Amino acid sequence: MEQTADSTQSQYSYNAQRDDDAELDQNNEQDPQFIGTDTYQEQPDQPITQTDPIEIAKVEEPDDQELNDNPYIMSRSIPVGPYSFVDFRQPYEQKSPPPKYFSDELLLTPLPTKKDEILRGLEEQKHGGLVCTDQEAMDRQRGVLMNVVKQLTVNLFKGLTITHISLPIKIFEPRSSIQRIVDMWSFGPKFLRQAADTTDHLERFRQVIAFAMSGLYICSSQYKPFNPILGETLQGEFNDGTQIYCEHTSHHPPITNFHMQPQDKSFNFYGYYEFTANMGANSLKSGLRGPNNIVFADGQHIRFRTPDFLLGGTVMGDRTIEAAGNVFFEDLTNNYKAVVILSTYKKSGFFKKSESGKRDQFTGIIYHCKPIEDPVKSAKKLYSKHAIEISDLNKIKDMVKPIGDINGSFLYNMTICGKKYWDIDTDVPERFKPVLRYVAPSDWRYREDLIWLKYNYMKIAAQWKVRMEEQQRHDRRLRQKQKDKK
């Protein structure tokens, strides 16, 4: 899918997206504990070559045995496959041959649905949240994150960001971040269907809250998915025929647009996510900013934002994962709101320490709010990169009347207004399936680096990762030249 600009907006983008973030960047100070990905922007007078990422590990070349006895090579003379993410006019590269594309059988291999399979290699820690016990994953990542910190320090002085660091292939999983997004929606066939079937707008609001919170644990993984390529797409579906479309529409900042709709068109789920990352002294916080809009057939419009995930022990100590921050919900039709605060864990005291709560637990409230007179201003406040955070439910300022409490754990269950809506042991997620017909050539399944990693040829995957990064930089220079002519 050819792109002619550094970013393209789909019909589902929120109009205030870019201008709001630009204004917030000027008016919002960064938390001094974290180094934001946007703290140092590229300077317009810098040569384009300074946008090249810094390699933090040497790329190993595959040996002759990996190449000669390889059953997954598509061709030993044609440089790339028909849907390649690199220019077909490039010469044949012996060390990075084109791979055979995935078979339908492999594409339709069921993804894990049982709790112990999804959370394999992860265990609950004493104060909640997850700790990594997968020794292979930890061995692969050993030393990488410390090198990231060192290279990030160098980058900051050069006006570059964390996005300009090229990570080694060994810490990746053979999936794209565009797939990880859809993992969060694995309870959509249950909760969004129940929401669409009821005419009670408050009950529908509660079902949407359950949908947003129930799939968080499915995104817990020690391995990193590949960053989407500009123009990369995903086409998927659920068993009931619900169609899913995603496209990575901007590279700087990294933004993916999405749309999901069932066959009966009883609801329309759309929006965009901007990928964010902040690195602390011994942690990495990542998130997806942007509104999730759900508009039902009768016109009820609900939107919400997703929480952040905090990876701890990046330099020393246990490697931990926990959901963090806030989740906000707005019913623009009925003036309902909900606020969920992730992690109830608190530590206090100096000589005699006391601890309460757990890192995987959350608490929140549904309430009647003052009329939402300016949805654009509200979106800027709640869904942009520097959106507000609430640490105390008693400090909510726009509450008119409380409706009910929200309590639970993203690892166990969820109760809304005294009723249990989700239980990890009894509610089974439905994982999406890639469609097999009428697939765009820009689909994630044609990424050569991802394909070779799935086939377990890590060195060949690393070669392709470099080629694809070089292609992206080349394309970006062409777009920059085109802009300079205008």
pLDDT in tens, 316-339: 888 899 999 999 999 999 999 999
Output DSSP code: residue 118: H
Q: How many domains does the chain have?
A: 1
Domain contains 192: no
pLDDT at 352 over 60: yes
Strands 346-348 and 354-356: antiparallel
pLDDT at 31 over 60: no
Domain contains 341: no
Domain contains 368: no
Q: Calculate mean pLDDT across residues 198-203.
A: 98
**Inter-residue contact 108 to 301 (CB < 8 Å):** no
202-255: per-residue pLDDT in tens? 999 999 999 999 999 999 988 889 999 999 999 999 999 999 999 999 988 899
Report the mean per-residue pLDDT for the chain.
85
Specify the 3-state DSSP secondary structure of 173.
strand
User: What's the pLDDT score for residue 60?
Assistant: 85
pLDDT at 134 over 70: yes
Domain residues for the domain of 457 are 61-108+436-486
Spatial separation of the C-alpha atoms in residues 137 and 132, rounded to whole Å:
8
pLDDT at 190 over 60: yes
pLDDT at 114 over 60: yes
Q: Calculate mean pLDDT across residues 159-166.
A: 57
Spatial separation of the C-alpha atoms in residues 169 and 58, rounded to whole Å:
10
Cα distances (angstroms) measured from residue 394 to each of 138, 146, 159, 365: 40, 39, 41, 10
Q: Calculate mean pLDDT across residues 129-140.
A: 87
Buried b (16+ CB within 10 A) or exposed e, 84-102: bbbeeeeeeeebbbbbebb
Predicted structure pTM score: 0.85
pLDDT at 262 over 70: yes
Domain contains 297: no
Q: Calculate mean pLDDT across residues 112-126.
A: 94
User: What's the pLDDT score for residue 486?
Assistant: 77
Task: Spell out the residues 6+ positions from residue 238 whose beta carbon is closer than 8 angstroms to its own.
Answer: 188, 189, 244, 430, 432, 433
Strands 172-176 and 224-226: parallel
Domain contains 444: yes
pLDDT at 29 over 90: no
pLDDT at 38 over 70: no
User: What's the pLDDT score for residue 153?
Assistant: 65
Confidence band of 41 (pLDDT split at 50, 70, 90)? very low
Confidence band of 346 (pLDDT split at 50, 70, 90)? confident
pLDDT at 315 over 70: yes
List phi, psi (to 5°) of 375: -60, -30
444-473: per-residue pLDDT in tens? 999 999 999 999 999 999 999 999 999 998
More confident residue, 19 or 158: 158
**Inter-residue contact 404 to 40 (CB < 8 Å):** no
395-431: per-residue pLDDT in tens? 999 999 999 999 999 999 999 999 999 999 999 999 9
354-401: per-residue pLDDT in tens? 788 999 999 999 999 999 888 898 888 899 888 888 989 999 999 999
Q: Calculate mean pLDDT across residues 58-69.
A: 89
Confidence band of 91 (pLDDT split at 50, 70, 90)? very high
Half-sphere exposure for 269 (CA within 13 Å, toward CB): 25
pLDDT at 56 over 60: no
Phi-psi region of 198 (alpha: psi -120 to 50; beta: other; left: phi over 0): beta
Domain contains 263: no
User: What's the pLDDT score for residue 388?
Assistant: 86
Specify the 3-state DSSP secondary structure of 152.
helix
Return the minimum-mean-pLDDT range out of 151-160, 172-181, 277-286, 468-477. 151-160
User: What's the pLDDT score for residue 58?
Assistant: 64
266-298: per-residue pLDDT in tens? 999 999 999 988 877 788 888 899 999 999 999
Domain contains 82: yes
Spatial separation of the C-alpha atoms in residues 474 and 486, rounded to whole Å:
19
Domain contains 362: no
Spatial separation of the C-alpha atoms in residues 373 and 320, rounded to whole Å:
41
